[in-house]
Structure 1
Amino acid sequence: MNKLDLEGTAHLLDELDKKLMVLLRDGRTLIGYLRSVDQFANLVLHQTIERIHVGKEYGDIPRGVFIVRGENVVLLGEIDSTREVELPLTQVSVDDILDSQRKEQELKQEKQRLISKALKERGLHLMSDLTHDDMF
């Protein structure tokens, strides 16, 4: 481990017991209190919620204690409790936000399918559309 890695992880110690927002590599957003961190930047969050945003709405799913591998963290920041109440978003139920998220994902998939179809008609292919035989 080089000096920079140690300094980066050591800075996380200043964030212990603070409410943090953590953006994960898979796109999920977690909000919770940082209770522990190790030399690999693995995190233990307490009273964690997973926040799902769709448009101007959001929903919070309680997750409790959550362990995050450091390699999965894209972004981490402290939540400013004074500004948190001023969010220009509307909170909706978990069922509503999950339904909105599902619909949004279906629309994205349909859009991607139409783009892929248009490219194929022009003789172009996306890498995700190619089979193993097409590549070799």
Structure 2
Amino acid sequence: MNYMPGTASLIEDTDKKHLVLLRDGRTLIGYLRSIDQFANLVLHQTMERIHVGQLYGDIPRGIFIVRGENVVLLGEIDLEKESASPLQKVSIEKILAELRLEQEVRNKAEQLKIQVFKDRGLMLPHPDALDEY
């Protein structure tokens, strides 16, 4: 096997199923069709996978172009082990409802935290003021 530097090493991985974790936290699963020197990706038959606890749901997205700077993780999926996952697949509607409930719980916890800090005379910076990346 010959060594290829940078994104050139991914040429051998074209037409294989990959998982891509994006900087904004989304997870994409699709077939890698193309890649360039900037690690920009073209994924075919792409699904956006949403996880909530032990449940997951897939939203079909079709052809997806991902700018390389937004890729956190890229990995090939072992098709033989893919079905052995302990996670339970549910409908898109159910996973989106579960996601909304999880976000509501997080928002309530955040509001409670802000109120506790205010009661103690402390101010938290506004979440939009912080750059996560």
Question: Is TM (by shorter chain) over 0.5?
Answer: yes
Instruction: Please state if 1:24 is matched with 2:19.
Output: no
Q: Secondary structure at the match of 1:127?
A: coil
Deviations along 1:8-40, whole A, 9 cap, x unmatched? 211222211110000011111000000000111
* CA distance 1:114–1:45, change in 2 (3 Å): same
Unaligned runs of 5+ in 2: none
Residue 42 of structure 1: which of 40, 60, 67 is its match? 40
Q: CA deviation at 1:129?
A: 6.5
Corresponding letter in the other structure for 2:33 = R
* CA distance 1:75–1:115, change in 2 (3 Å): same
Q: From the two aligned structures, give the one with the greater helix fraction.
A: 1
Q: 1:105 — aligned with what?
A: 103
Residue 126 of structure 1: which of 117, 124, 130 is its match? 124
Unaligned runs of 5+ in 1: 1-5, 132-136
Q: 1:78 — aligned with what?
A: 76
- State the distance in 1 between where 2:73 and 2:128 align: 33
Q: CA deviation at 1:7?
A: 2.2
- State the distance in 2 between where 1:65 and 1:54 align: 25
- State the distance in 2 between where 1:125 and 1:45 align: 44
Q: Secondary structure at the match of 2:109?
A: helix
Deviations along 1:85-105, whole A, 9 cap, x unmatched? 110011110000011011111
Residue 93 of structure 2: which of 92, 95, 104 is its match? 95
Could you tell me the percent identity over the aligned residues? 62
- State the distance in 2 between where 1:7 and 1:114 align: 50
- State the distance in 1 between where 2:118 and 2:33 align: 51
**Structure 1: 4+ residue segments shifted above 6 A:** none
Q: 2:12 — aligned with what?
A: 14
Instruction: Please state if 1:57 is matched with 2:93.
Output: no
Q: Secondary structure at the match of 2:126?
A: helix
- State the distance in 2 between where 1:76 and 1:28 align: 12
TM-score normalised per structure 2: 0.89
